Chains A and B, each alone.
Chain A
Amino acid sequence: MKPKKSPVIRVIGFLALIFIGATLVLGLKITPPDAIQGQMVRIIYIHPPLAWVAFLAYGTTAIASGLYLWKRTRARIWDQLSGASAEVGVVFTGLTLVTGSIWGRPTWGVWWTWDPLLTATALLFVLYLGYLALRKLPGDINQRSKRSAIAALIAFIDVPIVQMSVLWWHSLHQKPTVFNPGQPAQIHGIMADTLLIGFIAFTLVWLWLLFTRLGVIKLEEKIELYGLEVALRERRGEVNKDLVETSQDSHSKTSLSTSSKQGPDSQVLVQK
């Protein structure tokens, strides 16, 4: 069984490819090197968009979990969406940590530093890995979904702490450049445009991955549901077959014993 892809998902995928291509061309070829960071600035065109998508994914997981927990809106789709978004979020958090580490080595001189924002992002990564582990546990699907939804909401409390930690603690990390309320944007021209295109590109990638994964989760649940149903039917079939065979055996045995006791006339009757 292949997941059906709607034309909208195909269009999103196509647009994502175009924007990723544009980010690559602009980021690697057209934009100039930074006055201080040199060529290392190029990783900035993908690092903040990756982090943004991770937060977007966790936000979606939290909202979908809330909708699943609320009795009026409770539906399987919210749980499925929550799981799909968290999976994509974990991948993007991992990529954020990797790209940050690659940038940190030449800039700070170390692959990893115990900067609060880095540490909190790593914690977020582990926290959502725990959430995904909870989702994968065997057992009643509704019980698991409800618990996962509660865990997702609690985990989401950590997200604003990650966001605010850069301001709460004295940090080595770069302060927000574009979305800094106390400071006007300090990034200009083609560099700002490339960063914006990067944000759009990775948001589209997230949407495409989210809907594709959602389709796969729906199919997995169908397999789980129908797989069990087929197994039950087969089992019932076996039981019926056994019963039929047993009843046929006992019937023929009874007939034979009766016929042997009553003689040739009664044997004719049994055959009739």
Chain B
Amino acid sequence: MLHDALLIIRKDLKIEFRSKVTTNQVAPMAIVILILFAFALDTHQHKLILAAPGLFWVAVLFSMSLAIHRSFSIETSSSTRDGLRLLGLDPGGIFLGKVIVLTIEMFVLEIILGFGIVVLYSATLHNYFLLISITILSTLGLAAAGTIFGSLASSFKTKDTLLPLLFLPISAPVLLSATKAFQTELGTVIGSSHPWIRILGVFAVVYLTVGVLAFGPLLEEQ
């Protein structure tokens, strides 16, 4: 399974390096979202500092939705999915590969967005280790849920509208927990981020397990 996952990671990262869609299109769009949020909050500095954790994760969520769409359009546009099935790769490995690639892409984007909230919203970062842990756990959970629903919606004609309808509500608990944990680590709320990190961990494990189990039947009938 891990060997197949590595093959998928290499394939998707190679495609991403050549096309540079995440860096050239998704990342600028995420920065635009941050700027638009500032307009919506009337560029009030105090409000922006307080809202920075939530706005950061909303920008991540919308960007993730685009990245998932991109991840599955790679497979459908040139019948790559059929090729993967013919190669006899383990569906669980394909799923894990897709999730890891999405996590890597989104982590790069989150670093850019992190600079964005520091520069644009004057947010102050405290505990880097915890911030990175929260970011990786949340992104892993979101990527796992997104890959399942991306695969579910990928072969329907209405996938563009169906994917956000399925993916956004399911990712709301991750968004809530990640925002709460970030609020603590950015110093906007006093408290501990540990309970939220635990919830994020549970989410990531649950969605990864469901994905590994469900990806086989999903690939079989496509």
Contacts and interface: CB of A to CB of B under 8 A. Distances in A.
Interface of A: 69, 120, 123, 126-127, 129-131, 133-134, 137, 139, 142-143, 146-147, 150-151, 153-155, 157-158, 161, 168
Given A146-B217, A147-B218, A151-B152, A127 B169 contact: yes
A150 B217 contact: yes
A158 B166 contact: no
B148 interface: yes
B173 A150 contact: no
Given A130-B165, A150-B217, A150-B218, A158 B173 contact: yes
Contacts of B118: none
A245 to B, nearest CB: 38
A151 B166 contact: yes
B180 to A, nearest CB: 9
Contact of A143 (B166, B206, B214, B221): B221
28 contacts: A69-B217, A123-B169, A123-B173, A126-B165, A127-B169, A127-B170, A133-B162, A134-B153, A137-B158, A137-B162, A143-B155, A143-B222, A146-B217, A146-B218, A147-B152, A150-B148, A150-B214, A150-B217, A150-B218, A151-B149, A151-B152, A151-B166, A154-B149, A154-B170, A154-B214, A155-B170, A157-B210, A168-B199
B39 interface: no
7 smallest beta-carbon distances between A and B, as pairs: A127-B169, A130-B165, A126-B169, A130-B166, A150-B214, A123-B169, A147-B152
Nearest to B199: A168
B128 interface: no
Contacts of A134: 152-153, 162, 166
A262 to B, nearest CB: 60
B17 interface: no
A153 B217 CA distance: 13
Contacts of A126: 165, 169
Contact of A137 (B156, B170, B173, B210): B156
Interface in B96-152: 145, 148-149, 152
* Chain B interface, DSSP helix/strand/loop, else mixed: helix
Contact of A157 (B162, B206, B218): B206
B160 to A, nearest CB: 13
Contacts of B170: 127, 154-155, 158
A129 B170 CA distance: 12
Among A123, A134, A137, A147: residue with most chain B CB under 10 A: A147
A146 B219 CA distance: 11
Contacts of B166: 127, 130-131, 134, 151
B7 interface: no
Contacts of B206: 157
Given A137-B162, A143-B221, A161-B173, A154 B210 contact: yes
B156 A150 contact: no
A61 to B, nearest CB: 15
B172 interface: yes
Contacts of A151: 149, 152, 166
Contacts of A123: 169, 172-173
B162 A146 contact: no
Nearest to B195: A168
B156 A139 contact: yes
Interface in B167-218: 169-170, 172-173, 199, 206, 210, 214, 217-218
Contact of A133 (B165, B172, B217): B165
Contacts of A142: 221
B150 to A, nearest CB: 12
Given A69-B217, A129-B165, A154-B210, 18 more contacts: A130-B165, A130-B166, A131-B166, A133-B162, A134-B152, A134-B153, A134-B162, A137-B158, A146-B221, A147-B152, A150-B148, A150-B214, A154-B148, A154-B214, A155-B170, A157-B206, A157-B210, A168-B199
A68 B221 CA distance: 14
A89 B50 CA distance: 37
A130 B218 CA distance: 18
A150 B149 CA distance: 9
Among A150, A155, A168: residue with most chain B CB under 10 A: A150
Contacts of A155: 170
A154 B165 CA distance: 14
A150 B152 contact: yes
